Amino acid sequence: MKAVWYVRNGAAREVLEYGELSDPEPGIGEVRVKLHASGINPSDVKFRLRRPLDFEQIVPHSDGAGTIDYVGPGVGSHRIGQRVWVWNAQWRRAWGTACEYVVLPEAQAVPLPDAMSFEQGACLGIPALTAVQSVRLAGSLAGKTVLVTGAGSAVGHYVTQMAVLEGARVIGTAGSGARREDAEQAGAFSVIDYKQTAVGPRVLELTQGAGVDAVIDMDFSSTAALLSENVLKAHGVYICYGSNTTGILPVDLKTLLWRSIDLRCFLVYDLLPDDRSACIEKLSGWLEQGRLQHRVAKTFRLRQTAAAHEFVESGSKRGTAVLRI
């Protein structure tokens, strides 16, 4: 099969190789997916650039979509021919979706509605599942106000839509006119340009000084300081799914403690089985009903993977960069 891989960390054009690898075959409980699209997330390019390799050879990307063409022992033949989207293809595994075929446990290949393209299906794994779990952890949102940071990003765009579907009023943040427009199209009633406007005072202004009921945050390292500005109501919930800076970070414990703030963090790759199942069930319902917008930022051919990685690294994408295979 045609594939792209790397055997060392480094710049995309220096380490990504395009060529032939042997076709994989499914084992017990596995399916093989003939891929038509591979989604590229920021984590994929970060892993290539600096994450120590767990295997001698890495075929990158965790997200993708295609058709099941081969099943292993223990998997019903009815699955052959199913259109599916996949998740965690390259999490703790050597081969992801930057190739023509991927073999995965059956549960990691989820039916894709006929109305959706394979390119749209390749947007779902990390961005949409992160969004669903964030909204689930925020609890009942009917009639609540939620601050979504990065509301125009790939994840934030889904978060905003889902929170609105759950009955929330969303205040978003964005750093450009294009991202602000995307957040508004997703349903945010107000979007704050964090590069031009102080977020804390503006949130309090929009909520008549009350603050929001929940914060769903993409970057704890820059957003946690807002806790000291009381943008989150007492007994509110703060959901964190990422941080541009990791390690030891300052946090206002007094505010967390005295305002009884519920701080919840998670890694989308590592959801517990029950949480994963609940997220997929919720997401599948919305997909079948056609309730969500999906944004494909730009498409590339498989042999253009290095250019696609550079596009993601540029920070200019609106949505998910996708390889057509």
> Across all residues in the chain, what is the average pLDDT?
97
Confidence of residue 247 (pLDDT cuts 50, 70, 90): confident
How far lies 310's CA from each of 11, 14, 131, 224, 300, in Å?
9, 12, 25, 30, 12
Q: What is the pLDDT of residues 118-139, one digit of tens each?
A: 999 999 999 999 999 999 999 9
pLDDT at 24: 98
Report pLDDT digits (tens) over 255-301: 999 999 999 999 999 999 999 999 999 999 999 999 999 999 999 99
pLDDT in tens, 135-157: 999 999 999 999 999 999 999 99
Predicted pLDDT at 246: 85
pLDDT of 245 strictly over 90? no
Are β-strands 212-217 and 145-148 bridged in parallel, bridged antiparallel, or unpaired? parallel
127-269, CATH topology level: Quinone Oxidoreductase; Chain A, domain 1 (3.90.180)
Residue that has been written with the tokens 């957003």 in this structure: 223
The more confidently predicted of residues 84 and 249 is 84
2-123+294-324 shares its CATH topology with 127-269: yes
Where are the chain's structural domains?
2-123+294-324, 127-269
What pLDDT, on a 0 to 100 scale, did the predictor assign at position 273?
97
How far apart (Å, rounded) are the C-alpha atoms in residues 113 and 122?
A: 13
- Per-residue pLDDT at 316: 84
Across 243-250, average pLDDT:
89
pLDDT band at 242 (very low <50, low <70, confident <90, very high): very high
Instruction: State the SS3 of 268-297.
Output: HHHCCHHHHHHHHHHHHHHHHHCCCCCCEE
33 or 246: which leads in pLDDT: 33
Helix (H) / strand (E) containing 322: strand 320-324
Percent residues over pLDDT 70 in the chain: 100
Q: How many residues does the chain have?
A: 325
Please name the residues in contact with 283: beta carbons below 8 A apart, sequence gap of 6 or more: 124, 128, 129, 132
Tokens at residue 88, please? 């965690």
Interior/surface letters 49-86, b for 16+ CB within 10 angstroms, e for the rest: eeeeeeeeebbbbbbbbbbbebbbeebeeebeebbbbb
Pairwise CA distance, residues 204 & 100, whole Å: 50
169 pLDDT exceeds 90?
yes
**315 pLDDT exceeds 90?**
no
Beta bridge partners of 296: 320
How far from 60 is each of 3, 42, 51, CA to CA, in Å? 10, 12, 12
Q: What is the pLDDT of residue 319?
A: 94
| Better-scored residue on pLDDT, 263 or 317 | 263
Is the CATH number 3.90.180.10 carried by domain 2-123+294-324? yes
Q: What is the pLDDT of residue 219?
A: 94
Q: How confident is the model over 36-57, as pLDDT tens digits?
A: 999 999 999 999 999 999 999 9
Average pLDDT on 82-88 reads 98
pLDDT of residue 302: 98
